[in-house]
Structure 1
């Protein structure tokens, strides 16, 4: 069974409220989404929204209304705080398989970095299908085992995590869904015309290694690093420093798989 491996980070802990709230969505991600769908005038549900980074991004792209759903009240509070100036963005506490949204109430469902947290994809896909209008679209963005097995490089920093600590790779492999299983779950509940795509998303640009090291030490937005002790994390930072010390500006990017379907 893939998905839902326990992670040491507690998404309901107040100290983690800004872990998934402060970053801004990458412009490259925005361009990729616009190739998949025109969100202007659409009602969008961002399921597993965390701190609302991508809820705000969909509003920026022209969505008429965005509602973020997350199971953590802590995350929802942070999202509301960060989105206070956006009148067309709102948030509720709900489960991915039981959002609390009305039947056929949204035009687009977006689920980023969500499905690796669930044990069974079908209930989540069933709920997605329920809240979509006829001909509504669903976009799922997550990493497959193939995505996380890519080697480390000065751009793909995440690969160095697994190079230095194979136990992290084992954890990731257990919780990531292969593409064919995602597609099968979508089609099982009646989502059709499913297509699969690969995108590279810039996570952040760092002025130098010291700035990257600071980000790694904070573990902000990196749930996998909560698997490491402070001593192990220090060791990982030194390992990465040896790999990228020659790079002046570090552009960290991750590869994602995107599945798109239609109700």
Structure 2
């Protein structure tokens, strides 16, 4: 089935969260934010992380996405941020100027891309000399950790093993990412693991409603309505706590320098 990123009904599906401080601190630890003035958020979705970059003090943020519908939602989400602009484009062709940016962020993007080389080459083209490239995604090892009160995602694969194959096929192994970054010309490549807080729910009902809406979770669009209901019931029974649920996902962040 899969999610249709171009559908108007998914316009705001990636606008409903705020980047957690765990992410902000991780980025500050690997990038000298005080030296960053112009940035690009490629695959920006609803602008959640475009906002975070701005809130960190970056003067200019340009969000790029291939979905005009989702860009509509991003513009609405960021309407109070005068230093954030959005352009229609994709990871291979951003239509932005070469050698112009201090930082490029691509968060939760590369698992949608089969051939990483043109994606990384486009980022290399956009960056100034010594500019920073941040790629954040999940490796297969990040995805298939056991489900528990924090790692809700683990329950998806526990109940529906066929999702394991889907996820394995779309997730890049960490060494392949590093090698492809090197081939594109990047240097000083570092890898960081991050348990990023996705959301904090006052109670279990809030979490289950979020899952029911498939909010910002493309993998859940692989399930039909009946299967999704089974998953929600499974998580309801599996979680031993009813309040103050802190959902986290494990990510891999690669930092590279032009």
Preserved CA contact (<8 Å) 1:209 1:245: no
**Equivalent-residue separation in structure 1 for 2:256 and 2:14 (angstroms):** 26
**Equivalent-residue separation in structure 2 for 1:123 and 1:31 (angstroms):** 30
Query: Cα distance, 1:95 vs. partner?
Result: 1.1
**Equivalent-residue separation in structure 1 for 2:117 and 2:74 (angstroms):** 27
Q: Which residue of 1 aligns with 2:138?
A: 143
Preserved CA contact (<8 Å) 2:149 2:241: no
Query: Cα distance, 1:75 vs. partner?
Result: 1.1
SS at match of 1:207: strand
Post-superposition CA distance 1:157-190 (Å, at most 9, x none): 0000000111111110110000011111110010
1:30 equivalenced with 2:36 (yes/no): no
Preserved CA contact (<8 Å) 1:71 1:94: yes
Q: Which residue of 2 aligns with 1:3?
A: none
1:195 equivalenced with 2:157 (yes/no): no
Post-superposition CA distance 1:228-249 (Å, at most 9, x none): 1111111111111111143422
Query: Cα distance, 1:39 vs. partner?
Result: 2.2
Preserved CA contact (<8 Å) 2:198 2:249: yes
Alignment root-mean-square deviation, CA: 1.0
Post-superposition CA distance 1:9-46 (Å, at most 9, x none): 10000000001112110111111111111323421100
Runs of 4+ in 1 over 3 A off after TM superposition: none
Post-superposition CA distance 1:132-161 (Å, at most 9, x none): 000001000000000001111100000000
Query: Cα distance, 1:115 vs. partner?
Result: 0.4
Q: Which residue of 2 aligns with 1:91?
A: 86
**Equivalent-residue separation in structure 2 for 1:22 and 1:246 (angstroms):** 24
Preserved CA contact (<8 Å) 1:39 1:58: no
1:13 equivalenced with 2:7 (yes/no): yes
Q: Per the alignment, do residues 243 and 189 of structure 1 end up closer, same or farther by CA in structure 2, a change over 3 Å counting?
A: same
SS at match of 1:136: strand
| Structure 2 counterparts to residues 1-263 of structure 1, below 5 A | 8-40=2-34, 41-263=36-258
Query: Cα distance, 1:8 vs. partner?
Result: 1.4
**Equivalent-residue separation in structure 2 for 1:210 and 1:13 (angstroms):** 27
Post-superposition CA distance 1:84-141 (Å, at most 9, x none): 1111100000010110110011100100000011110000000000000000010000
**Equivalent-residue separation in structure 1 for 2:76 and 2:222 (angstroms):** 29
Preserved CA contact (<8 Å) 1:195 1:261: yes
**Equivalent-residue separation in structure 1 for 2:88 and 2:82 (angstroms):** 18
TM-score (normalised: structure 2): 0.98
